[in-house]
Amino acid sequence: MISSLSALMASLLYLMSTYYLLRCIRDTQTTSRSLRRPILGVATFALVLHTISLTLTLFTPESMIFSFGNGLSLIGWIGVFALLIINLNKHTEALGIFIFPLAAMVTLFPQFIGDFHPIDYTLGFHVIISIFAYSVLGLATAQAVLFSAQERRFQRRNLSNLIRALPPLQVMEKTLIQLVVLGYVILTFAIFSGAYFIDNFFSQNIAHKTFFSILAWLTYSLFLWGHFQFGWRGQKAARYTIWAYSFLIISYIGTQAVYGLVNA
């Protein structure tokens, strides 16, 4: 009961943050400064309620309880948390136009999507690290989409209210690279911890997950090498980020599909 109520209230508050953010984008001249605090304040309160709900569905004294629903809910939680941390020194709340509506939806998933699987805390540590990587790199992908649109609009001199609400291109690109580097480090750790904690992955029907995760890691590796060696940036940076994250999404959703077929 407490979990369901907390999830519902968090979802509504995320939607309220989205509403404030849309108002901020619609009128960048007069409301952005006055609405920035409500946006971040309401989102912070929503995150606290989201934490309560997620904790009650994810943790027990004996094990961690995972499902497709609370896995996606955790991704949304990390996305909001990372966005709020970034906003401590960069005004990048416009990313919430992607993150807040997504969080509002996935917060409710554990209440409706069942099929829970208990796992021990050792393996659960690997799973949480992996989800952290998905979330940070997902935030980087949202940043890449906005940065790509912003750069194209600047080149065409066709600036919408959303583009005007974004930080300067240099800040957007720097934030994108920082998020990719952070997510890449976490993803690397997740892949190596998976190799340590999981044996016989072919027999566990996760070979394709491993394949696409490594493919994503190689794509991020290629991009970061190109960026630091040859200065790859701009639209190329955005494309590599989006393609690499697409492989991660395929690996995660594909795993759930295979589990569903095997357990049917």
Residue 28 has, within 13 A of its CA and on its CB side, a CA count of: 12
Q: Which residue has the tokens 């190596």?
A: 192
Rounded Cα gap, residues 114 and 70, in angstroms: 9
Has residue 126 got a pLDDT over 70? yes
The reported pLDDT for the residue numbered 253 is 67
Q: Which residue has the higher pLDDT, 249 or 9?
A: 9
pLDDT tier, 258 (very low <50, low <70, confident <90, very high otherwise): very low
Whole-prediction pTM: 0.82
Largest CA distance in the chain: 59
Rounded Cα gap, residues 238 and 244, in angstroms: 10
Tokens (6 digits) for 205:
């029907």
pLDDT tier, 200 (very low <50, low <70, confident <90, very high otherwise): low
Tokens (6 digits) for 128:
């949480």
Strand partners, 119: 64
25 and 18 in contact (C-beta within 8 Å)? no
Q: Mean pLDDT across the stretch 229-257?
A: 84
Has residue 37 got a pLDDT over 60? yes
Residues of the chain with pLDDT > 90: what percent? 41
Residues of the chain with pLDDT > 70: what percent? 86
Rounded Cα gap, residues 93 and 67, in angstroms: 30
Q: Mean pLDDT across the stretch 37-52?
A: 93
Tokens (6 digits) for 72:
């996606």
Distance of CA 84 to the CA centre of its chain: 13
Tokens (6 digits) for 152:
């194209």
Q: Which residue has the higher pLDDT, 66 or 176?
A: 176
Which amino acid, one-letter code, is at 127?
V
- Nearest residue to 73 via CA among 121, 11, 129: 11
- Nearest residue to 183 via CA among 173, 171, 172, 175: 175
